[in-house]
Structure 1
């Protein structure tokens, strides 16, 4: 019943099953029937238009009458788990209703970002004992004291404590006995230091460790050197990490994913990673590297994802050319990000043999039309980022054979209406980003061939209501950004009123008025609406939100 309950577990529930008389199917079914009203059309069902199951109706009824129940411990765990999940999803869980889940043998408690979570809640959490397998208390007020209660839950496999600023090194010490942990996350925990990481030494079954934005852990990676099962390590934005730390993880030969964005890692630090032959995902964005590091990176035969954005990669010398050429051996590479580097057309010749590439990013690189000739053979390419490059209309003819292309970003390029027409045969495109300073209403006629388009950005200034007529029949659109087109009027809102799948709409800096807001009423799926610098008032937008757009979560201006 439910995804959380049907999963196969490594740890069986033998202890829970021995509880006296608690899990008899007949008694639980009788209880469910007693809670179900004979006729109640007000029972909420989350999926509109879908016939609810008996269990859906029962769980919804329990949620409505939650004040009538003091304990669910006599129910089968699957049912109490569903009720708990429903209360969390509907924001009905509080200090009082939580007490009903004492000793329910729940397996998964996901209350990350839920308001009011504190040490008192962990008392109920810990009462699940050996049954508890996963816990998320991210963004909570839980302290070291609360964390100490988890000693009663020795079988926990996954624990997330992201943004928990009241958990210190001392609190980490309480985790040392949770030897069954396979996944642990402490993102942005500013109190944790290298000394506190000693607690990780005993977590020998750890497979995933996330310490993103932990800024005081320099010297702490030494406590990970014996975690031989570790496959994923995230230390992104830990700007305290230097080359001196890398030697400590060089022996973790099972590592498959290593996230080190914006660390102070240089070419010398990368050299220490030579033995990590299983690496499939390597993120070095923003690290002070040069093209010399690619000699080591080319020795990772399993690499599928490589991010070198915002590094100091350059192709302005013969030595660097030979280093970049080594990338051709990475035949499993699917994602390559070289954005914001000194990459020119001459570099692209070394990438044409990477025939398994699915995503390629050259954002703000010095490439132009000639370089795109080297992409003709990358037939598996699905995503291409060319924003702020020298690419123009002529270069797009080299892309005409990339029939699997689903996303292309041409913002801040010199592509015109003529160039857009060269992409008309790429009918698989789902995401298109254009700089409309050079794209006119006439060019938008090409847009009609992209029947699968889900995201369209046309920012810049040249589009009018006449051009929007070419958008109104793109029924698959979910995100539409027409900002900075100052000639657009209320007519535009009328034209797109039939795009009922839209979840995000931006028509900022246009001539939209309060009178035009009525055309948005059919867009029931709209969650984000941005109308900054338009002739609309916050009061009218609020009325629209309350009366017609129930799913709208963000409105700008408010």
Structure 2
């Protein structure tokens, strides 16, 4: 015969089990709901989610609710009139995102501040509407490692916003409006390994600002006003760098 004490004990155990499962369900369900809402918000703003299968087994995929792969990137490529900078505010809800591509979009830089507290390592905003004023929204992306700004309205003044992005390893400024004066803002980016300045207005006079970037392994100076003599002198400071001219 079951005693009242035993019944109470069983009841407490049952309640505890229910509470544990409820908490586990909340811990799994809430992030999943937040991810779903974030994905919808990005897609409404003209974005596309990109996934990668980084799990090693079907069991790992099952317990992570990750059958479709881990979300690693977002593109707004040719989003046209659908593009809305508010779509970027959903990216912090997707903590596995590593890269964001805004190439050929209507992005003017607004909304980039939403990426400040994320693990985004690569940002591409080529052939977009971003200018010096818009680039100020990117100055808080301290963890950024690769930045592409090709074919934009960026000038020397805009490069001042990049001086604090000291984790940058790759920077591309092809066909922007920068000149010799702007290169001074890059002197703090000593971790750079790749720098592309194709089609810019720089000349030999500006190369002095690049001499301290001794970690460079690739420098592109095609279609600039830099001379062969200028390249030769710069090469003396950047001995491990391949300079394309």
Partner of 1:408: 147
Q: Is 1:374 equivalent to 2:140 in the alignment?
A: no
Q: Distance in 1 between matches of 2:129 and 2:209?
A: 28
Partner of 1:365: 105
Where relative contact order (Cα < 8 A, 6+ residues apart) is larger, the structure is 2
Superposed CA deviations along residues 301-345 of structure 1, whole A, max 9, x for unmatched, are 6632xxxxxxxxxxxxxxxxxxxxxxxxxxxx2333343333342
**CA 1:413–1:505 in structure 2 vs 1: closer, same or farther (change >3 Å)?**
same
**CA 1:301–1:420 in structure 2 vs 1: closer, same or farther (change >3 Å)?**
farther
Q: Distance in 2 between matches of 1:446 and 1:405?
A: 17
Q: Is 1:303 equivalent to 2:69 in the alignment?
A: yes
CA contact (8 A) 2:192 2:216 kept: yes
Partner of 1:461: 200
Q: Distance in 2 between matches of 1:491 and 1:364?
A: 34
CA contact (8 A) 1:393 1:418 kept: yes
Q: Distance in 1 between matches of 2:195 and 2:220?
A: 6
Q: Distance in 1 between matches of 2:231 and 2:185?
A: 18
- 1:406-555 aligned within 5 A: 406-435=145-174, 437-502=176-241, 504-507=242-245
Flag structure 1 segments of 5+ consecutive residues without an equivalent. 1-278, 283-298, 305-332, 508-558
CA contact (8 A) 1:375 1:398 kept: no
More displaced 10-residue stretch of structure 1: 363-372 or 425-434: 363-372
**CA 1:436–1:493 in structure 2 vs 1: closer, same or farther (change >3 Å)?**
farther
More displaced 10-residue stretch of structure 1: 410-419 or 435-444: 435-444
CA contact (8 A) 2:79 2:105 kept: yes
Q: Distance in 1 between matches of 2:88 and 2:67?
A: 20
Deviation at 1:352, TM superposition (A): 4.1
When normalised by structure 2's length, the TM-score is 0.67
Superposed CA deviations along residues 361-402 of structure 1, whole A, max 9, x for unmatched, are 111112112232332332x11110111111111222222222
Superposed CA deviations along residues 34-91 of structure 1, whole A, max 9, x for unmatched, are xxxxxxxxxxxxxxxxxxxxxxxxxxxxxxxxxxxxxxxxxxxxxxxxxxxxxxxxxx
- 1:249-264 aligned within 5 A: none
CA contact (8 A) 1:471 1:496 kept: no
RMSD between aligned residues:
2.4
* Matched position secondary structure for 1:480: strand
Flag structure 2 segments of 5+ consecutive residues without an equivalent. 1-50, 55-64
* Matched position secondary structure for 1:474: coil
Displacement over 4 Å in runs of 4+: 299-302
Bigger share in helix: 2
Superposed CA deviations along residues 496-520 of structure 1, whole A, max 9, x for unmatched, are 2331222x4311xxxxxxxxxxxxx
When normalised by structure 1's length, the TM-score is 0.31
Partner of 2:131: 392
Partner of 2:95: 355
